[in-house]
Amino acid sequence: MTGASGQRVVVAGASLGGLRAAEGLRAAGFTGEVVVVGDEPHMPYNRPPLSKEALAGDLAFSALEFRRRKSVDDVTWRLGSAVAEASLGTREVILADGSVLPFDGLVVATGLRVRRLTLPAPEAGRYAVRTLEDAVALRADLRPGARVVVIGAGFIGCEVAATAVGLGCEVDVVAPEDVPMQRPLGPEVGAAMQRRHEAHGVRMHLHRLPAVVEARTTGADADPGLVGAVVLDDGTRLPADVVVEALGCVPNTEWLAATGLDIADGVRTDGWMRALDPEGHPRSDVVAVGDVARFPNALFDDVPRRVEHWSIPTDTAKRAAPALVAGLSGADLDPAPFAPMPSFWSDQYGARIQSFGSLGVADTVRVLEGDLDGEFVAGYERGGDLVGVVGVGLMPSLMKLRAEMITALQPR
């Protein structure tokens, strides 16, 4: 066993990555104190359902809370106050409430926050979807007949659009891209998903940006504090009772500004999830996990990338926790390359879009089975090698291709 009783690890972030890091520390034999700090008042809970089935139905916290292993029963949870600052020189973090926590080891698990519109706009009727409270507030306004304008056509925007249509809302989606979900899925599959949305009545306004968000100044419910319409950059005016801002996310790294770490796009790490400075030197006492981490994946190449997939907090925590314990105890690092298989899913109109691999590194997309307007499997290739798959239905084929990719891409 390692980790003297006098040692303390602070885990900054109390979402899935923070929970898995705490469990990983205990699994790696750390017996010292573990303190998990989170800005929300809740214990770790499942976020993907907030824009899908939970938004359409049960938003009770009990249905979303993660089960915790008994090994973390002795972990201290400091909830409701975010980490505001860190000093690696004195090995301290300062919380937003002014508390100071000394540490021997630090896990950065602060994740992402949603990017918001910079346009002047009324506050009431505007929503983002990142927290349980966000989803609860939005759900109350998704009434049958409500006019919903979703700004952004990534997965969150498209999931909210599909959910709102299912609740009887009228939905417009605004995005600058050629097709919805273009960045993760590419133009061919994105176009197929656009056809599905339009078949359910969603109006897509692509190659467009919002120019003005108007207040509700006319009608029986006129209120200058409420949204009333979104005007696009071509002059199109979309009446709106609800505006959902699904503009992507920004890494929560400002609190690390004085640490000297490379936080150009999340926290850059090596293959053991150890945080690096701009020259590439690792810290043995600081690791990063989840979608705030920018790490190399040996399955694909040595380029560090942030990966905003649900599987990544668990995969990175399993790698980071033993590396941090090794750094605190002076033990050797696991020599095996870090090679997790990314995966994500999205539920839209009763169909599950499932993916494995790294779609973003591909240079070619081919339909391997089925039809894009029905059930299908699409292969994402780089230089002729399969690096990712996406499918709707046909799960046996997807799982077979996943296994083949793991074998073919495994570093030797």
The residue out of 245, 266, 298 marking a domain boundary is 245
* CATH number, position 33: 3.50.50.60
The verdict on 154 and 208 lying in the same domain is yes
User: What's the predicted TM-score (pTM) here?
Assistant: 0.93
What is the tens place of the pLDDT at every residue in 3-62? 455 899 999 999 999 999 999 999 999 999 999 999 999 999 988 887 877 788 777 888
The verdict on 122 and 237 lying in the same domain is yes
Check residue 55 and give left, alpha or beta (phi > 0: left; psi -120 to 50: alpha): alpha
The verdict on 131 and 233 lying in the same domain is yes
In a domain, 344, yes or no: no
In a domain, 78, yes or no: yes
The verdict on 139 and 231 lying in the same domain is yes
Question: Looking at residue 4, what is its pLDDT?
Answer: 54
Q: Are 17 and 267 in contact (CB under 8 A)?
A: no
The verdict on 30 and 53 lying in the same domain is yes
Give me the amino acid identity at 68. R
Give me the amino acid identity at 216. R
Structural domain containing residue 383: 350-409
Strands 92-95 and 83-87 come out as antiparallel
Q: What is the dihedral of CA 44, 50, 52, 53, to 10 degrees?
A: 70
Q: Which H or E run includes 179?
A: none
Separation of alpha carbons 359 and 368, rounded Å: 15
Number of domains in the chain: 3
The verdict on 316 and 207 lying in the same domain is no
Separation of alpha carbons 360 and 388, rounded Å: 9
The verdict on 14 and 99 lying in the same domain is yes
The verdict on 128 and 240 lying in the same domain is yes
**What's the mean pLDDT in 357-377?**
95
In a domain, 2, yes or no: no
The verdict on 262 and 362 lying in the same domain is no
* CATH number, position 356: 3.30.390.30
What is the tens place of the pLDDT at every residue in 136-190? 999 999 999 999 999 999 999 999 999 999 999 999 999 999 999 999 999 999 9
